[in-house]
Amino acid sequence: MSTYSQTLTSHGDILANIPGILVFYPQNSLVLAFFDRNSDTPGLHLGPLARLDLDDAVQTLTANQSQFAAWSGRVNADAVIAYVINADPSAADDLAEFLLSEDSPLPTVLAIVQVPELTSGTGWWTVYQQLSLSAPRTGVVSEVAGSAALQQMVLDTGQLPALSRAELEERLDSTAHGIDDAVYRNIIADVEVGLPANRGHVVELPSG
């Protein structure tokens, strides 16, 4: 699998890449995007993503505090941005309170962003954002089809992201998936045990 890069200038750009990274369109989800700072280049560099069911996100993070803290250290994560995918305007309220508290096992939370769904042109807004992050606070999801992650997925697998996790599981259960065996096994592992996903790309988000 080749490594690719794309410079992102807004949350809308990151949101557009999520389906290609996770290989499906998450719904009613919390997607955690982990970032590191590289002294060689400016901005923040996107590392792995982790997806949690939104309804159980706080409980999952609480029950697995040590694991999340240890994992963040292993991937050298300096910060995280939380993307809440749900149409209810209040869906992120309790979650935001937890993520910004001392009880959270995550590294520094730069922003909490909510969007009803991951489709091109859908409006998103920040529930919280640090003043040091110089990204816009409202906007729309960028063109999903034009995202580097989706283009790389099509190049690697010849397929588009599944419309839901259930569809992805059905697709992976099929013997006619046409995916490289090593890539296929990695995707299966991610889906079955909920491991963070990263399709190997490097992206940047400007920070003040």
Confidence at residue 203, expressed as pLDDT on a 0 to 100 scale:
47
| pLDDT (mean) for 191-195 | 42
pLDDT at 27 over 50: yes
pLDDT interval class at 199 (50, 70, 90): very low
DSSP letter for each residue of the chain: ----EEE--SHHHHHHHHHHHHTB---SEEEEEEEEE-TTSSSEEEEEEEEEEGGGHHHHHHHTHHHHHHHHHHTT--EEEEEEE-S-TTTTHHHHHHHTSTT--SSEEEEEEEES---TT-EEEEEEE-TT--S-SEEE---GGG-HHHHHHHHHHS-PPBSSHHHHHHHHHSS-----HHHHHHHHHHHHH---B--S-EEEE---
pLDDT interval class at 32 (50, 70, 90): very high
pLDDT at 189 over 60: no
pLDDT interval class at 201 (50, 70, 90): very low
pLDDT at 12 over 90: yes
Confidence at residue 172, expressed as pLDDT on a 0 to 100 scale:
65
Rounded to a whole number of angstroms, the CA Rg of the chain reads 16
Give the model confidence (pLDDT) of 58-116 as tens digits. 999 999 888 888 888 887 888 999 999 999 999 999 999 999 999 999 999 999 999 99
Count Cβ neighbours within 10 Å for each residue of 82-112 and write b for 16 or more, e otherwise.
bbbbbeeeebbeebbeebeeeebbbbebbbb
Confidence at residue 174, expressed as pLDDT on a 0 to 100 scale:
58
| Percent of the chain at pLDDT exceeding 70 | 75
Confidence at residue 143, expressed as pLDDT on a 0 to 100 scale:
93
Domain boundaries, the chain: 5-205
pLDDT at 175 over 50: yes
Confidence at residue 192, expressed as pLDDT on a 0 to 100 scale:
42
pLDDT at 25 over 90: yes
| pLDDT (mean) for 4-25 | 84
